[in-house]
Amino acid sequence: MAEATDLADCSAERLVAGYAAGEFSPVEAVQAVIERARWAQERVNAFTRIDADEALTAAKESAERWRSGRPAGLVDGVPVTVKDLILTRGTPTLRGSRTVREQGMVWDADAPSVARLREHGAVFVGKTTTPEFGWKGVTDSPRHGVTGNPYDPSRTAGGSSGGSAAAVALGAGPLSLGTDGGGSVRIPGSFCGIFALKPTYGRVPLFPASPFGTLAHVGPMTRDAADAALLMDVITGSDWRDWSQLAPPAGSFREELTRPVAGLRVAYSPSLGWDVPVRPEITAAVRRAVDRLAELGAEVEEADPGIADPVEEFHTLWFSGAARVVQHLSHAQRELLDPGLKEICAEGARRSALDYLAAVDVRMALGLAMGRFHSTYDLLVTPTEPITAFEAGAEVPAGSGHTRWTGWTPFTYPFNMTQQPAATVPCGVDGDGLPIGVQLVGARHADALVLRAAHALYSSGAAELPALPMPGGS
């Protein structure tokens, strides 16, 4: 019988295999994860709630299905966490905001990704932290406080899916659902040393539609690419509530992982061709990951995509979306908002429809340029971030000169504008022991290729990081 502490560190694939073989039960695994979640909550404040009783009830039901040889689906009995922006039936979705009422509300709907997980027998352990309405690239909110980094709780976990990233890194469930409107799974994935994928827009159905429009994606946050492929096989099922969803994928993402990366045309861009001061140790770590792809047979050359930084146009789209989020709030409610969110909402409200459409024009030109680039290259590789995790509770690093979170994360939001799949893979640590991420970007619809390249880095050992200290010495 496996030790409980070991089960909290198992991948989703390993758990499912263990259930099938009768090595351990979903009840044991979920108990271990609940214990780890409580420890992680004390360490870094990753959760808005931990639903222990409900999770154990679901785990017992899963165990009975496995005993009878009738598992519900691909992740039956696997512990899952969900970012507190994503609807979960029977559980409040508070969005990190003091303006959202918990009592007297009806929580009777699952988001599409949650519904697919429920159909496949997943066990929901709890909801994870987010900045208010997911507005920024770090995770702190007026309602739930600051989320720290698993490698150093005094540093930020990143955001806006910081609670999910921290939970996965600390063994509080191998699978988590995050959202990404400008880097929000990739930023915390990089800072916390886990895998995270922003799929092609529409690949994972979304409901309700995001006020940030087609910038916002739902994506998997996991310990490796294999678990992300498993999760994608579940959550990419169709849902009539999303009018912009893509057709369901023709095959399995897991099956695509086994294909080689030899022959892939890879462009390595150290800074997207922009004047971005990337820390030398990050450049070196990303270069080692690129070299590993070359050793595996990929055809690598250094090349920039030839695009300009679209930050001002992103701001128009993002700030306008934020203004829409709070449009219904009273003056008294607006006084409860995160001060930074209030600032960008005011700025967004000043932007005109013509400003918005001009930003859309830039977005379309950016998509065209990246489409042209990917007619030559299968994969673009960049650093995920030019920095590692900084002080928790701050929107920007002290002394950086940046005024908004977009200033220090220039490599993520462009690919929300183009709707391309983009993933972060851990590729080392800096001198302080903080994780470094490498970003893999594919052409639209090339989610399987991005997962395959990421899996190759994991399989070759290029994504290994120093082990985190865990309770009980696990």
Is the distance from CB of 186 to CB of 193 less than 8 angstroms? no
- CA distances (Å), origin 7, targets 14, 56, 189, 344: 9, 15, 22, 43
Is the distance from CB of 375 to CB of 306 less than 8 angstroms? no
- CA distances (Å), origin 152, targets 149, 191, 193, 235: 5, 10, 12, 32
CB burial class (10 A; 0-12, 13-18, 19+) of residue 16?
buried
CA distance 228 to 283: 26
Q: Which is nearest to 37 in space by CA: 26, 48, 25, 50?
A: 50
Is the distance from CB of 437 to CB of 426 less than 8 angstroms? yes
Which candidate in 25, 83, 127, 190 is catalytic? Answer: 83
Pairing mode, if any, of strands 123-128 and 47-50? antiparallel
Whether 184 is a known active-site residue: answer: yes
Is the distance from CB of 293 to CB of 456 less than 8 angstroms? yes
Residues 272/273/275/277 CA torsion (nearest 10 deg): 50
CA distance 262 to 260: 5
Whether 252 is a known active-site residue: answer: no
Estimate the crossing angle of helix 225-235 against helix 112-119, to 10 degrees: 100
Give the distance, in angstroms, between the CA of residue 243 and the centroid of all CA atoms in the same chain. Answer: 23
Start-to-end CA distance of the chain, whole Å, equals: 16
Which candidate in 25, 184, 210, 320 is catalytic? Answer: 184
Whether 160 is a known active-site residue: answer: yes
CA distance 415 to 462: 24
Which candidate in 160, 164, 176, 190 is catalytic? Answer: 160
Estimate the crossing angle of helix 447-459 against helix 280-295, to 10 degrees: 100
Cis peptide before 208 (omega within 30 of 0): yes
Q: How many CB atoms lie within 10 A of CB 5?
A: 16
Residues that are catalytic: 83, 160, 184
